Amino acid sequence: MAEHQDNFSNKTRHSKQERVDTFTTLNSGATEEIVISHPWSPDKIEQLKPLLVAMARENWAKFEEDESTGEQCIDANFDEALCDVTELALESNGFDQNLDDLHKLRALMIQIARDLHFEEVAQHVSQYSRDDLKQYGLRYAYEKSTYRKTAKALKKEGKYALLVEACFVAVHALFWNGVPIPEGVKDRYDLSYNAGPAASDFPKPARQLALYNLVEDLIQIVVENLDLQRGNNKSRDLRTLLGIFAYAAHHEQSIEDYHQSAQHSFDLSSAFSATTIRDHIDDLNRWKVGDMFDDINQALLEYIIESGVVSRPLMISYDLTDIQSLGLSEYESRFLTEDGRWRFASLSFTDPAIEYSFGLRLLKSEAPRARELENFLRDLTSMVEVELFMADRGFDGAEDIKACRKFVPGHWVICAQDDSDPQGQSSDFSRLRAELEPGKTAVRPSAGYANLKPPVKLIGYSGADEDDESPGPIRAFYSGISLPDDEDEREEEITTINFRYNQRGKIETMFRMAKNQFDLSTDTDKSIRKAFYFQMSVLLYNLYKIVQTVPAPRSGVELDTTPSELLEVVQNLAFDGPTAPDALTYHRGHY
């Protein structure tokens, strides 16, 4: 909820309600108390436009289409209301003028708001009766030359621009207080009760403010969980660490070289040096790096879920990806350790309304796979109810299935690997294939895992047409989902599971973008440092995806940004904005 403290509300008439003190923002899930208040300026209005639109919606009630609320009545009500707030709008914008001319200034406000020529404003005012003019505070219907002379005098004094700004404020005040606005005026000032939640519906300042609000929330979450265990250099601001990596990714350079170019744009007096960053990272144990980013990503995941943007209960996919499998030759030796490859755990929401994948954790080999899966499911189910959990090939071990049964009983599927032996030896997959008809589904009630009770089902789906000779392509799942007894309903359920599994493809794009858009290069051969850098790349990707998905916390607008813009905003916030470098300051003072 937002609270509105507005001096204009006591001066506007012809609105449905006399005053609205609180209203619901475009972000209905926002818990932060928001207060917007007088005085107003055009810049402030532009920045807060989404909040003002939300307030206007609650104040506005569509008038019944009858003779008393026709176009002529709306015009008269608007003109009167505009005259009512003219003096306050002028004061709000620092307009110091003899009040003896206030009646002429009211007429000029009508002219500016309606975009009229002087002849047209004279005709417009003349339509009102003597009593109306007195009530509106216009006194008389002057000739066009009177309004022209008044405007010319204001321009000579340098005050006409202030009058235009005051009119901007006044029109918006009438809008958010529920006064009917003529269509021509709404078009001129881009006023709409239906604007949003897309950020593109609002002025650029409103979009930028929403973007900075959201990214600041995310930076605070990251910094709260960012622990370098530093015993010294505590004077260095920890949030600058994120800014350094964002700067390096934005400018496609190593963090070892960031200071040389960043010093021309930012005050780096509280920022880490590249040498200090390396020292702190090298002091970390490998498990500490993993745990630290686990904490960060879990907190970010919780932020996404609590935002309400993802449908509940959740449908979610989980995957492990070989770093080497991305086709990136430069990674061929980086993530090879004494006992095998490193893999990355990730998830995507299979909500068809959003496109979202999220990086979780870098793992060394497959040894901790089931343990990490269990930890992940424990954390996830503590936050939210899960309707469907889907895991990719490779999670078909007995311990993986036990973890699914423990935390998401009856709501899990694991994509089965095709273990059909080319020599014709029997397997559960080959037996399922033999039973599967083209375009149909099949179920094997007990598939391997003789030591697991109850038995594990293997369900299959044929992607072929029913008149094809072969059932391929085939997809099979180990499943804990209870299937209907009716054959048609069972086939529909399995088909739905396969369709939802198709949504997990969002995961595949994550690693390409993390590498191509958020790459953090390093020339070191130290695995811990490489792991930290890679995790940081994925973290920047995660921040980008959150900004693309979650509404801004205050205004509730939905943002559409680019990787480059996101990195620029992160570095601006982390370094407390661009600033004049010391050399430029000295130059200005001494040359």
Q: What is the pLDDT of residues 354-370, one digit of tens each?
A: 777 788 877 765 556 78
Find tokens 């499911």 and name the residue.
377
* pLDDT of amino acid 17: 44
What is the 8-class DSSP label of residue 520? -
Mean pLDDT, all residues of the chain: 81
Over residues 389-400, the pLDDT tens digits come to: 999 887 878 889
Do the Cβ atoms of 544 and 571 come closer than 8 Å?
no
Between CA 289 and CA 538 the distance in angstroms is 13
Between CA 221 and CA 244 the distance in angstroms is 17
Between CA 397 and CA 102 the distance in angstroms is 82
Dihedral angle of Cα 391, 394, 399, 403, to the nearest 10 degrees: -10
* pLDDT of amino acid 222: 94
Over residues 497-536, the pLDDT tens digits come to: 999 888 765 555 665 666 667 777 666 677 788 788 888 8
Confidence (pTM): 0.83
Whether pLDDT at 583 is above 80: no
**Neighbouring residues of 395: CB distance < 8 A, sequence distance ≥ 6:** 318, 320, 369, 373, 414
DSSP per-residue string spanning 534-588 = HHHHHHHHHHHHHHHHSPPTTT-PBP---HHHHHHHHHHHHTTS----HHHHHHH
Half-sphere exposure of 138 (CA within 13 A, CB side): 32
* pLDDT of amino acid 574: 92
φ/ψ of 437, rounded to 5, equals -95, 150
* pLDDT of amino acid 495: 95
Whether pLDDT at 428 is above 80: yes
Find tokens 């209005």 and name the residue.
45
Whether pLDDT at 4 is above 60: no
Over residues 60-83, the pLDDT tens digits come to: 754 434 444 556 688 888 999 899
* pLDDT of amino acid 339: 42
Whether pLDDT at 409 is above 90: yes
* pLDDT of amino acid 570: 95
Whether pLDDT at 197 is above 90: no
Between CA 551 and CA 573 the distance in angstroms is 19
Do the Cβ atoms of 254 and 248 come closer than 8 Å?
yes
Between CA 373 and CA 351 the distance in angstroms is 21
Between CA 273 and CA 36 the distance in angstroms is 40
DSSP per-residue string spanning 349-393 = E--TT--EEEEEEEEESSTTHHHHHHHHHHHHHHHS-EEEEEE-T
- Name the burial class of residue 482, with classes exposed (0-12), middle (13-18) and buried (19+) by CB atoms within 10 angstroms of its CB: exposed
CA 20 to chain centre: 29
Mean pLDDT for the stretch of residues 175-186: 89
* pLDDT of amino acid 449: 77
Task: Give the range among 187-191, 279-283, 422-426 with minimum mean pLDDT.
Answer: 422-426
- Name the burial class of residue 208, with classes exposed (0-12), middle (13-18) and buried (19+) by CB atoms within 10 angstroms of its CB: middle
Find tokens 């007195």 and name the residue.
134
CA 298 to chain centre: 17
Mean pLDDT for the stretch of residues 453-472: 91
Indicate the pLDDT class of residue 442, thresholds 50, 70 and 90.
very high
Task: Give the range among 146-150, 185-189, 207-211, 285-289 with minimum mean pLDDT.
Answer: 285-289
* pLDDT of amino acid 529: 82
SS3 97: coil
Q: What angle do CA 200, 206, 212 make, to 5 degrees?
A: 105
Do the Cβ atoms of 211 and 552 come closer than 8 Å?
yes
| Closest alpha carbon to 563 in 510, 492, 497 | 510
340, containing H or E segment: strand 340-349
φ/ψ of 28, rounded to 5, equals -65, -20
Over residues 112-162, the pLDDT tens digits come to: 999 999 999 889 988 988 888 888 888 887 888 888 998 999 999 889 999
φ/ψ of 390, rounded to 5, equals -120, 130
| Position 313, amino acid | P
Q: What angle do CA 222, 30, 9 make, to 5 degrees?
A: 135
Between CA 413 and CA 481 the distance in angstroms is 7
| Closest alpha carbon to 8 in 225, 178, 188 | 178
- Name the burial class of residue 202, with classes exposed (0-12), middle (13-18) and buried (19+) by CB atoms within 10 angstroms of its CB: buried
Over residues 553-563, the pLDDT tens digits come to: 888 889 999 99
| Position 529, amino acid | R
* pLDDT of amino acid 512: 64
Domain-wise residue ranges, the chain: 2-196, 201-265+530-589
* pLDDT of amino acid 64: 38
Q: What angle do CA 185, 189, 190 make, to 5 degrees?
A: 105
Percent of the chain with pLDDT over 70: 79
Between CA 268 and CA 130 the distance in angstroms is 67
Between CA 426 and CA 73 the distance in angstroms is 84
User: How many residues does the structure list for the chain?
Assistant: 591
**How, if at all, do strands 457-462 and 356-364 pair?**
unpaired
Between CA 2 and CA 553 the distance in angstroms is 12
Between CA 350 and CA 311 the distance in angstroms is 10
* pLDDT of amino acid 183: 92
Do the Cβ atoms of 512 and 537 come closer than 8 Å?
no
SS3 413: strand
